[in-house]
């Protein structure tokens, strides 16, 4: 089975710091990591390969430095990494990102399943997976928490919903996006790290993948950010003092004044 995993590089910090005066990111933490959700995507790819044989290619659209992150994926079991990098890709929103990835994936050619993370933690959109599927003309399943069965041209999976889960089947090739529940990513092996060290990551430009310049990058992005700002938190917190019993009593009195309806 030929597996493609899409990964994105995101800022590394746990708490992204924002400069309140300028509404911009504080830049001392320039380090970047693989999007946490994408580690589950890579792991699921590796498990599928272990179960069915075949090959995993990880692909990312990003700046040249992203090659290092693709190598990390090789260290945990991916076979190849491909980097789409070109000024022409810059400024992409999700629609333009999906166009670039679709062009890259079409150049890779032979694939059975494409795995994405549920969402990227910088933009939090979760849109690239379904948009990519649409561009490739194949079905998709979002929020997959378990692959129940996979065969040459068919997958049956559990999708997490807002109220539980559902079991969906679709034909392959398809795109799935995965949630954290699906697996526990492994650490790199020594052998993997050696392989990663030697790996060469090809860099493909927009011309290399024959991307339509009107569909990628800023030109291909219908949406435009016009303003960024720090969220205002204007809450006057009332701290309730006293001995614990008193605190509890006062709190409950205040809350009961709200006339909440409590089902009996």
Partner 1 sequence: MMGIRIIEENCTGCAVCIRACPFNAVKMENDKAVILDNCTLCGSCADACKFDAIDFQAERGTGMGDLSSYRDVWVFAEQKGGIADSAVFELLGAGRRLADQLGEDLAAVLIGNKVRPVAQQLIAYGADKVYWVDHPDLEYFNDELYADNLSYLIQRYRPNIVLLAATVYGRSLGPRVAARIGTGLTADCTGLEIDVDTRNLMQTRPAFGGNLMATIVCPDHRPQMATVRPRVMRPLEPNSGRSGHILRQQAQLKQDLKTRVLQVVEEAGETLNLLEADIIVSGGRGLGDPKNFALVEELAKTLGGAVGASRAAVDAGWIPYSHQVGQTGKTVGPKIYFACGISGAVQHLAGMSSSDIIVAVNKDPDAPIFKVATYGIVGDVLEILPLITNEFKKALGK
Ligand X SMILES: Nc1ncnc2c1ncn2[C@@H]1O[C@H](COP(=O)(O)O)[C@@H](O)[C@H]1O
Ligand Y SMILES: Cc1cc2nc3c(=O)[nH]c(=O)nc-3n(C[C@H](O)[C@H](O)[C@H](O)COP(=O)(O)OP(=O)(O)OC[C@H]3O[C@@H](n4cnc5c(N)ncnc54)[C@H](O)[C@@H]3O)c2cc1C
156: enclosing H helix or E strand: strand 154-160
Nearest distance from residue 111's CB to ligand X, in Å?
A: 14
Q: Does 237 bind ligand Y (CB under 6 A)?
A: no
- For 183-219, b/e burial (b = at least 16 CB within 10 A) is bebeebeeebbebbeebebeebebeebebeeebbbee
Residue 116 interacts with which of ligand Y, ligand X, partner 1, none, CB < 5 to 8 Å by class: ligand X
- Say whether 20 sits in a helix, a strand or coil: coil
Distance CA 188, CA 77 (A): 8
- 129 or 217: CB nearest ligand X: 129
Distance CA 175, CA 47 (A): 16
Interface contacts to ligand X, rule CB under 6 A: 6-8, 35, 37-38, 41, 60-62, 94, 97, 101, 116-117, 119-120, 123, 125-129
Q: How many CB atoms lie within 10 A of CB 106?
A: 14
Nearest distance from residue 202's CB to ligand Y, in Å?
A: 29
Tokens in use for 98? 């999906």
Residue 39 interacts with which of ligand X, partner 1, ligand Y, none, CB < 5 to 8 Å by class: none
Distance CA 254, CA 162 (A): 32
Residue 200 interacts with which of partner 1, ligand Y, ligand X, none, CB < 5 to 8 Å by class: none
Q: Does 110 bind partner 1 (CB under 8 A)?
A: no
Q: Which of residues 156-195 bind partner 1 (CB under 8 A)?
A: 156, 159-171, 174, 179-181
List the x/- string, 20-59, binding to ligand Y by CB under 6 A.
Answer: ----------------x-----------------------
User: Are 74 and 46 within 8 A, CB to CB?
Assistant: no
- 121 or 193: CB nearest partner 1: 121
List the x/- string, 79-118, binding to ligand Y by CB under 6 A.
Answer: ----------------------------------------
Tokens in use for 181? 């529940």
- 35 or 221: CB nearest ligand Y: 35
**CB-based burial label for 78 (10 Å; 0-12, 13-18, 19+):** buried
Q: Is the omega angle on the peptide bond into residue 214 within 30 degrees of 0, that is, cis?
A: no
Q: Does 131 bind partner 1 (CB under 8 A)?
A: yes
* Interacting residues toward ligand Y by CB under 6 A: 14, 36, 121
């Amino acid at each position: 089975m030929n597996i493609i995993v899409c990964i994105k590089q995101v800022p590394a910090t746990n708490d992204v710091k924002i400069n309140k005066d300028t509404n911009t990111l504080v830049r001392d933490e320039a380090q970047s990591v693989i999007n946490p959700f994408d580690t589950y995507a890579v792991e699921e790819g590796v498990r599928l390969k272990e179960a069915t044989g075949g090959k995993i290619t990880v692909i990312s659209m990003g700046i040249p430095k992203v090659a290092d992150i693709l190598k990390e994926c090789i260290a945990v079991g991916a076979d190849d990494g491909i980097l789409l990098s070109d000024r022409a890709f810059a400024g992409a929103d999700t629609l333009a990102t999906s166009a670039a990835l679709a062009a890259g994936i079409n150049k890779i050619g032979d694939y059975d399943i494409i795995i994405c993370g549920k969402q990227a933690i910088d933009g939090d959109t979760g849109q690239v997976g379904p948009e990519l599927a649409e561009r490739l003309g194949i079905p998709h399943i979002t929020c997959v928490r378990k692959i129940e069965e996979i065969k040459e041209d068919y997958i049956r999976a559990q999708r997490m919903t807002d109220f539980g889960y559902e079991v969906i089947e679709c034909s392959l090739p398809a795109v799935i996006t995965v949630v954290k529940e699906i697996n526990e990513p492994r650490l790199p092996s020594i052998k993997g790290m050696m392989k990663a060290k030697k790996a060469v990551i090809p860099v493909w430009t927009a011309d290399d993948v024959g991307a339509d310049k009107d569909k990628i990058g800023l030109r291909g992005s219908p949406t435009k950010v016009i303003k960024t700002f720090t969220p205002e938190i204007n809450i006057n917190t009332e701290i309730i003092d006293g001995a614990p019993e008193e605190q509890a009593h006062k709190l409950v009195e205040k809350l009961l004044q709200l006339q909440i309806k409590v089902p009996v």
